[in-house]
Amino acid sequence: MGWRDGGKLYTQHVRRLAPHAASSGRAALLLACTAQFLVVLDVSVVNIALPSIQRTLSLSPSGLLWVTNAYALVFGGFLLLGGRLSDVYGRKLVFIAGLGLFTAASLVGGIASTAGVLVGARAFQGLGAAALAPATLTILTTTFPHGPARNRALAVWTAVSLAGGAVGNLVSGALTEYLTWRSTLLINVPIGMFCIVVTAAALAEGRPRDRVVRLDVTGAALVTTALIAVTYAVTASYSHGRRDPTAVAALVAGLVCLAAFVVVEARGAEPRLLPLRLLRTRAIWLGNLLMLLVGAGFQIPLWYFLTLYLQQVLELTPLQTGAGFVPHTLLMMLVGMRVAPWLMRHVPARTLVIVGTAIAAAGFWWQSQITVHSTYLSGVLGPAVVISIGGGLLIVPLTAVVTSGVSGPDAGAVSGLTNTAKQFGGALGLTALVALTSRHSSAKTDLVSGYAQAFAFTALILTLVAVVAFALPAQDSARPVPGSRRTNAGATGGHD
């Protein structure tokens, strides 16, 4: 058989495989986005239900804050370990295990009769999500090769992530108003079980590492303890005063755990939870720093404060409050899925990050101008348009910058680091903003003053991000990470 016949056979083989590859890619994208939607949804889904939860379980204000933060902090703290799980055991096994734990914890939280059980269930939800979320991004970065196909997949995944927070409020409002707050958690059970069945049948196994790698559970415990301790220190200083011994002790403990984490990760030749060589790449360390700061405004705080404003000041019902976030959802999805990927083919990612952040900062500044006499149309809708456009333009290119120089065995670790930065930024940002803007009076004028300050602080944070973003690499194709192998196999289906 000559080379011509061989070439024809090869071409026919590729053509036969193309539809299967496209179908497999669509299935992977659907599963990854559905799971990511559940993960992000549960960051915000309890927001509108918080007053009902507080009444039912007799929670104090600080206890109510931990219903939100227990999920976010455990989620953020164990994300690095979750990223490594995908590298070691393969994306399919980790995806199913994380989704199973998340679903079971949702069931326990939905039937909880005490505050302790609910907060504990939220923490285990975060643990399941910590395994699940990095697997979703790893599925995308190992299924789609670097370039337009991956950018489109990342755009869909990011748009779903952005929309999850707003849709969480809409779903929570409808469920809380017509059913009960418990249904905001129980709704995850049938969806999670369906995804587990589909994943077992449709998702390719992926290829774990050939040799056994000891998981760095110590590092995960240290970084999670550090995040929780620092956040608790901020909460305690708000509740008891900045010189409260408990707050000081928690802050010291958090910093000690963080230092110990760095020491643990620096030991040994075998890459651990977070190979420190990854941080030698400017796109990774600077991009994740910016992701943390963006999370301080875009993750939890935006939905939290705006939800309270709509209910406590504008006196909207839970369902009306959820419907008030529809403009955020639609615009973020439109810009994130359509506009940002198109612009990324013509404009450097750094430029889009700077422009998107500046637009979002302007939107938050506009949002900070609310008064007791504002209405939804005059005080919320306009800023929502600007904030959502800026967010859609910002997150997609920033995610592409952080992940573009990474492939193969490091994909899970970088995915976990990126999600950790966003989640910890959201939890710490919410706690800090509550501490800085809280008012002891429940009068509407005092409430509005506090919420306005929170939005103004967020605008300042995003302005700082826009300035620092000038130091990002000019293109979204950052140099390969030192010590990693950037190959086609790694980009399309190497170690999962």
Residues 283 and 376 placed together within one structural domain of the fold? yes
Please give the angle made by the CA atoms of 490, 164 and 177, to the nearest 5 degrees.
155
Distance of CA 51 to the CA centre of its chain: 24
Q: What is the token pair recorded at 413?
A: 């670790």
Asked if residue 4 is part of any domain, the answer here is: no
Residues 338 and 411 placed together within one structural domain of the fold? yes
CA 199 vs CA 24, 39, 299, 334: distances in Å: 12, 16, 27, 28
Nearest to 47 by CA among 76, 62, 69: 69
pLDDT at 481: 45
In angstroms, rounded to a whole number, what is the distance separating the alpha carbons of residues 413 and 428? 22
Burial class (CB in 10 A: 0-12, 13-18, 19+), 19: exposed
Residues 335 and 353 placed together within one structural domain of the fold? yes
pLDDT at 474: 66
Listed residues 225, 247, 269: the one ending a domain: 269
Whole-prediction pTM value? 0.73
Contact 125, 71 (CB under 8 A): yes
CA 68 vs CA 119, 264, 369: distances in Å: 8, 29, 26
Listed residues 269, 302, 334: the one ending a domain: 269
Count the Cβ atoms, other than its own, within 10 Å of residue 235: 21
Residues 243 and 118 placed together within one structural domain of the fold? no
Residues 224 and 345 placed together within one structural domain of the fold? no
Asked if residue 209 is part of any domain, the answer here is: yes
Q: CA 380, 386, 387, 388 torsion: positive or negative? A: positive
Asked if residue 485 is part of any domain, the answer here is: yes
Asked if residue 5 is part of any domain, the answer here is: no
In this structure, what are the phi and psi dihedrals at residue 192, rounded to the nearest 5 degrees? -65, -45
Residues 163 and 256 placed together within one structural domain of the fold? no
302 residue type, one letter: L
pLDDT at 325: 82
Listed residues 227, 243, 269: the one ending a domain: 269
Burial class (CB in 10 A: 0-12, 13-18, 19+), 186: middle
Residues 225 and 371 placed together within one structural domain of the fold? no
Domain that residue 234 falls in: 215-269
In angstroms, rounded to a whole number, what is the distance separating the alpha carbons of residues 211 and 61? 49
pLDDT at 278: 67
Residues 162 and 234 placed together within one structural domain of the fold? no
Q: Indicate the number of domains in the chain.
A: 2
- DSSP string across 164-184: HHHHHHHHHHHHHHHS-TTHH
Asked if residue 35 is part of any domain, the answer here is: yes
Residues 17 and 75 placed together within one structural domain of the fold? yes
Residues 384 and 251 placed together within one structural domain of the fold? no
Map tokens 């999805």 to a residue.
333
Residues 263 and 114 placed together within one structural domain of the fold? no
pLDDT at 381: 92
pLDDT at 20: 43
Residues 356 and 477 placed together within one structural domain of the fold? yes
Contact 126, 297 (CB under 8 A): no
Asked if residue 2 is part of any domain, the answer here is: no
Contact 369, 449 (CB under 8 A): no
- The whole-number mean pLDDT for each consecutive block of 10 residues of the chain, a chain of 496 residues, reads 44 39 65 77 74 80 77 79 73 84 93 89 89 76 70 74 67 83 88 83 60 69 84 73 74 88 71 65 75 79 82 85 82 82 83 90 92 89 91 83 65 69 80 75 81 90 88 57 39 32
CATH number at residue 348: 1.20.1250.20
In angstroms, rounded to a whole number, what is the distance separating the alpha carbons of residues 390 and 332? 8
Nearest to 157 by CA among 26, 34, 45, 38: 34
Count the Cβ atoms, other than its own, within 10 Å of residue 317: 14
Map tokens 């710490």 to a residue.
428
Asked if residue 436 is part of any domain, the answer here is: yes
Nearest to 465 by CA among 330, 298, 301: 298
Map tokens 């809380």 to a residue.
176
